[in-house]
């Protein structure tokens, strides 16, 4: 990951939880629309039922044209605060994830998924090729469909061959939530650079998410097909993972010496239709493009940079708070939130973070850029290796992202 970022001092605090009502509140006392405490289920239902009786009675007793609009307004108010998953508890979400999660996947010294990635991954090297094979074999074992985008491009070091890897669980689905990271590491002439945060850890997290949710995704796919047929599958939303090649500049970051893989794939997908039965392009099928980068060090801070994906970012923040409240998080990062909101950074015109999301952003794909602000101190130094990583933080972030996918795809019943 390259690109300058301005230093702005932003205060951040964790959202608090009201134990009395089981609602999430921000630091200004504004309640969110997540109701997750099962013990209050009856209270919410009884209040709602009582309000319905009163409001409907009043509405139908009012004569005149305005009564129709009043009824519509009341229904909207009664719906406010409800979620598509109803009264599902955070425990339900965690149970979906825990059933098929291997605890040592993200261990630093002996992790099934992380340790093999903690090597140099410079484009065109033998270790780069081994990492490609490692990622491919993982998703083959999970039976995800694979698309390989291989191409050649001129670089300051001559012509290089790049390969993007795209994995999709249910390729028939016409809606996708994309999770992405780059798997190459930066070339340095005179030093060894592992790029543990940049981006071995994000890649390992994607692989961990896929493995943990694979069973639930398969069961959901079978149920939709059994109940609604192929047409139901086409209308459903699935998860897609992209592993970009050539994110790093070989010399100095420029428009032509950087994000080789992302630039190529965005151009390609802008022209390619999703399948032969639709005119929808592959870019148009993306509900949100979530890019992970520079993850793995202690106490990271994430904010949202784009207004049109605010609901997704808020979802991550709410999930983190619920997990913290239920003591599912292992990190000691209790005073500050991972995910905090800053109006100063949303759509900030002077904020320049060049990364793999930019070619997609320019083509109007909704972007959620998960990158620490400010960057880790080890960024683009030899110290960006296993010693820079905090295992608890990595596992906590992976859990938050897993529950994000579970909630977005409604996997809690599988």
Task: Tell me the whole-structure pTM to 2 decimals.
Answer: 0.81
Residues 131 and 244: their CA atoms lie apart, in Å, by 12
Task: Please provide the distance, in angstroms rounded to a whole number, between the alpha carbons at the two ends of the chain.
Answer: 36
Specify whether 396 is catalytic.
no
User: What are the residues whose beta carbons fall under 8 Å from the beta carbon of 277, sequence distance 6 or more?
Assistant: none
Question: Which tokens sit at 194?
Answer: 């592992």
User: Among 353, 122, 114, which Cα is nearest to 245's?
Assistant: 122
Domain locations along the chain: 33-86, 88-409
Q: For position 44, what pLDDT does the model report? A: 34
The answer to whether residues 207 and 135 touch, using CB atoms and an 8 Å cutoff, is yes
Q: Which residue has the tokens 């590491």?
A: 185
Which helix (H) or strand (E) segment holds residue 57: the answer is helix 41-61
DSSP 356-404: TTHHHHTTT--EEEE--SS--TTTTSTT-SGGG--HHHHHHHHHHHHHH
The answer to whether residues 140 and 146 touch, using CB atoms and an 8 Å cutoff, is yes
Residues 246 and 160: their CA atoms lie apart, in Å, by 9
The answer to whether residues 348 and 364 touch, using CB atoms and an 8 Å cutoff, is no
Question: Which tokens sit at 25?
Answer: 């509140």
Please confirm whether the linkage preceding 199 is cis (ω < 30° from 0): yes
Q: For position 98, what pLDDT does the model report? A: 85
Q: pLDDT digit string (tens) for 149-158?
A: 999 999 999 9
Q: For position 26, what pLDDT does the model report? A: 36
CA angle 372, 11, 206 (to 5 degrees): 25
Q: For position 141, what pLDDT does the model report? A: 98
Q: For position 336, what pLDDT does the model report? A: 65
Q: For position 79, what pLDDT does the model report? A: 35
Residues 295 and 373: their CA atoms lie apart, in Å, by 11
Kindly give the parts of the chain with pLDDT less than 50.
Answer: 4-56, 58-84, 350
Task: Quote the DSSP letter at residue 64.
Answer: S
Return phi, psi of residue 249, to 5°. Answer: -75, 145
Q: Write down the catalytic residue from 293, 356, 384, 390.
A: 293
**3-class secondary structure, 52:** helix
Specify whether 133 is catalytic.
no
Q: Write down the catalytic residue from 174, 198, 245, 247.
A: 247
Return phi, psi of residue 383, to 5°. Answer: -75, -5
The answer to whether residues 315 and 409 touch, using CB atoms and an 8 Å cutoff, is no
DSSP 192-210: ----IIIIIHHHHHHHHHH
CATH topology of domain 88-409: Aminopeptidase (3.40.630)
């Amino acid at each position: 990951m390259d690109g300058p970022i301005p230093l702005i001092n932003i205060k951040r605090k964790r959202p608090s939880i009201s134990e009395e009502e089981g609602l999430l509140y921000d630091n200004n006392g504004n309640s969110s629309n997540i109701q997750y405490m099962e013990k209050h289920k009856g209270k919410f239902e009884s209040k709602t039922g009582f309000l319905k009786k009163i409001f409907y009675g009043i509405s139908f007793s009012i004569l005149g044209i305005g009564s129709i609009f009043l009824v519509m307004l009341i229904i909207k108010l009664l719906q406010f605060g409800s979620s598509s998953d109803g009264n599902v508890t955070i425990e339900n979400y965690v149970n979906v994830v825990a059933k098929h999660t291997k605890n040592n996947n993200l261990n630093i010294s002996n992790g099934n998924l992380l340790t093999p990635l903690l090597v140099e991954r410079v484009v065109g090297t033998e270790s780069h090729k081994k990492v490609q094979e490692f990622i491919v074999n993982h998703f083959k074992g999970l039976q995800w469909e694979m698309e390989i985008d291989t191409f050649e491009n001129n670089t300051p070091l001559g012509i290089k061959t790049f390969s993007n890897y795209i994995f999709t669980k249910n390729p028939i689905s016409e809606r996708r939530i994309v999770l992405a990271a780059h798997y190459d590491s930066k070339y340095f002439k005179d030093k060894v650079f592992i790029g543990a945060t940049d981006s071995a850890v994000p890649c390992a997290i994607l692989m961990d998410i896929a493995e943990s949710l694979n069973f639930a995704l398969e069961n959901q796919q079978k149920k939709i097909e059994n109940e609604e047929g192929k047409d139901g599958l086409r209308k459903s939303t699935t998860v897609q993972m992209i592993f970009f090649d050539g994110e790093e500049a070989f010399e100095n970051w420029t428009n032509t010496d950087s994000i080789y893989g992302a630039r190529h794939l965005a151009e390609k997908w802008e022209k390619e239709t999703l399948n032969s039965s639709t005119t929808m392009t592959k870019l148009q099928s993306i509900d949100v493009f979530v890019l992970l980068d520079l993850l793995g060090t202690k106490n990271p801070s994430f904010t949202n940079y784009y207004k049109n994906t605010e609901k997704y970012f808020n979802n991550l923040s709410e999930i983190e708070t619920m997990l913290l409240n239920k003591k599912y998080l292992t990190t000691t990062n209790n005073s500050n939130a991972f995910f905090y909101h800053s109006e100063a950074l949303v759509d900030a015109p002077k904020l320049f973070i060049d990364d793999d999301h930019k070619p997609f952003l320019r083509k109007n794909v909704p972007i959620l850029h998960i990158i620490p602000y400010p960057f880790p101190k080890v960024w683009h130094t030899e110290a960006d290796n296993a010693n820079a990583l905090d295992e608890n933080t990595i596992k906590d972030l992976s859990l938050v992202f897993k529950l994000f996918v579970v909630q977005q795809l409604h996997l809690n019943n599988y």
